[in-house]
Amino acid sequence: MVFLYAILAILGLIVLLALITPKTYNVCRSITVNQPISEVFNYLKLIKNQNEWSPWKKKDPKMKQEFTGTDGEVGFISKWEGNKAVYTGEQEIINIINNESIESQLRFFKPWKSQSDAYLTVHKIDERTTNVV
C-alpha cells in the first residue's frame, strides 16, 4: 500500500509541476563587437554568415543545406539536414527592422517537431562599438 501511495504522490507532483511551469521561456546571450552598428547588422541579417560562427555548423560541418529566396530579406529560408547533433529543420527570416533587429522562425522536424522564435538585436554603444543580443 505504501508503494501505491508513493506512486500516486509522484504522479500528483508531476501534474502539479506541469500546471505551474511556464509554457515559454527565453534564452539570451550577448556580445560586444568592435564594429559600427550598420556593419554588424548587415553581417547578421545574412543567414549564410551563420555558418562562420554557428555551434550547430561546428557539430556537423558536412550537413546538407538548401536556401530559398534572397539572403538577408524577409522570406529567406535556410534548410538543413544533418547528423544526430543537428537533425533536420529550417530557419526563415520573418521580420527585419534595419539596424535594430532580425526576427526568425526556427522549425525543427527531426527528432521531433517544434517551432521557436529567434531574435537578433543590435544596440549602438558608440560609433565603433555594437552590442548584439
pLDDT digits (tens, 9 = 90+) for 80-128: 999 988 899 999 999 999 999 999 999 999 988 989 999 999 999 999 9
* Residue-range definition of the domain harbouring residue 74: 27-132
In this prediction the pTM is: 0.79
In a domain, 110, yes or no: yes
CATH of the domain at 84: 3.30.530.20
Q: Looking at the domain assignment, is residue 6 inside a domain?
A: no
Query: Does residue 107 lie in a domain region?
Result: yes
Structural domains in the chain (count): 1
From edge to edge, which strands make up the β-sheet containing 88-97? 31-33, 129-132, 114-126, 101-110, 88-97, 77-81, 64-68
15 pLDDT band (50/70/90 cuts)? confident
- Asked if residue 99 is part of any domain, the answer here is yes
